[in-house]
Amino acid sequence: MRHHNATRRLANHADAECFAVFTASDSTQKQVPRKGDSDEQPGEGGGPQKLAKRGKELKDSMDALVDEIDEVLEENAEEFVKNYVQRGGQ
Protein backbone atom coordinates (compact mmCIF):
# COMPACT_ATOMS: atom_id res chain seq x y z
CA MET A 1 0.00 0.00 0.00
CA ARG A 2 1.42 3.32 -1.01
CA HIS A 3 1.26 6.13 1.52
CA HIS A 4 1.28 9.63 0.28
CA ASN A 5 2.90 11.94 2.73
CA ALA A 6 0.66 14.94 2.43
CA THR A 7 2.01 16.37 5.67
CA ARG A 8 5.55 16.45 4.37
CA ARG A 9 4.33 18.05 1.17
CA LEU A 10 2.60 20.74 3.15
CA ALA A 11 5.75 21.35 5.18
CA ASN A 12 7.51 21.87 1.87
CA HIS A 13 4.83 24.34 0.99
CA ALA A 14 5.72 26.16 4.20
CA ASP A 15 9.33 26.17 2.97
CA ALA A 16 8.22 27.59 -0.35
CA GLU A 17 6.18 30.26 1.42
CA CYS A 18 9.13 31.41 3.49
CA PHE A 19 11.61 31.39 0.66
CA ALA A 20 9.30 32.60 -2.13
CA VAL A 21 10.16 36.18 -1.28
CA PHE A 22 13.77 35.46 -2.30
CA THR A 23 12.93 33.88 -5.65
CA ALA A 24 14.26 36.01 -8.48
CA SER A 25 11.48 36.93 -10.86
CA ASP A 26 12.00 36.66 -14.60
CA SER A 27 13.53 39.97 -15.60
CA THR A 28 12.07 39.83 -19.10
CA GLN A 29 8.55 39.91 -17.69
CA LYS A 30 6.86 43.16 -16.90
CA GLN A 31 5.90 43.38 -13.25
CA VAL A 32 2.17 43.54 -12.73
CA PRO A 33 0.93 44.45 -9.24
CA ARG A 34 -0.75 41.49 -7.61
CA LYS A 35 -3.90 41.60 -5.54
CA GLY A 36 -4.92 39.22 -2.78
CA ASP A 37 -1.52 37.64 -2.72
CA SER A 38 -1.87 35.29 0.20
CA ASP A 39 0.90 32.90 -0.81
CA GLU A 40 3.79 35.30 -0.34
CA GLN A 41 4.37 37.28 2.83
CA PRO A 42 7.39 39.55 2.52
CA GLY A 43 9.46 39.83 5.65
CA GLU A 44 8.57 36.43 7.16
CA GLY A 45 11.67 34.89 8.69
CA GLY A 46 12.72 31.30 7.96
CA GLY A 47 14.32 29.82 11.11
CA PRO A 48 13.99 26.03 11.65
CA GLN A 49 11.83 26.47 14.79
CA LYS A 50 9.38 28.64 12.93
CA LEU A 51 9.22 26.09 10.09
CA ALA A 52 8.57 23.24 12.50
CA LYS A 53 5.83 25.23 14.21
CA ARG A 54 4.29 26.07 10.86
CA GLY A 55 4.49 22.39 9.89
CA LYS A 56 2.62 21.39 13.04
CA GLU A 57 -0.03 24.09 12.52
CA LEU A 58 -0.65 22.81 9.04
CA LYS A 59 -0.87 19.20 10.25
CA ASP A 60 -3.38 20.12 12.97
CA SER A 61 -5.35 22.09 10.45
CA MET A 62 -5.39 19.14 8.05
CA ASP A 63 -6.50 16.81 10.85
CA ALA A 64 -9.39 19.13 11.59
CA LEU A 65 -10.32 19.11 7.91
CA VAL A 66 -10.24 15.32 7.72
CA ASP A 67 -12.51 15.10 10.79
CA GLU A 68 -15.02 17.42 9.15
CA ILE A 69 -14.96 15.46 5.92
CA ASP A 70 -15.47 12.24 7.84
CA GLU A 71 -18.67 13.64 9.32
CA VAL A 72 -20.29 14.41 5.97
CA LEU A 73 -18.89 11.72 3.71
CA GLU A 74 -21.54 9.35 2.39
CA GLU A 75 -21.52 5.85 3.84
CA ASN A 76 -20.87 2.74 1.76
CA ALA A 77 -18.36 4.46 -0.51
CA GLU A 78 -18.00 1.55 -2.90
CA GLU A 79 -21.72 1.14 -3.51
CA PHE A 80 -22.34 4.85 -3.73
CA VAL A 81 -19.68 5.36 -6.38
CA LYS A 82 -20.80 2.24 -8.24
CA ASN A 83 -24.38 3.59 -8.45
CA TYR A 84 -23.31 6.94 -9.90
CA VAL A 85 -23.81 6.48 -13.66
CA GLN A 86 -24.55 9.26 -16.19
CA ARG A 87 -25.63 8.68 -19.77
CA GLY A 88 -26.34 10.95 -22.71
CA GLY A 89 -24.03 13.87 -22.00
CA GLN A 90 -22.43 16.42 -24.33
Residues that bind another protein (CB under 8 A): 1-7, 9-10, 12-13, 16-17, 20, 23, 25, 28-30, 32-39, 62-63, 65-66, 68-69, 72-74, 77-78, 80-81, 83-90
- Cβ-based nearer residue to another protein, 3 or 47: 3
- Cβ-based nearer residue to another protein, 49 or 73: 73
**Residues sharing a CB contact under 8 Å with residue 3, sequence separation 6 or more, in sequence order:** none
Least Cα distance to 75 among 85, 64, 83, 65 occurs for 83
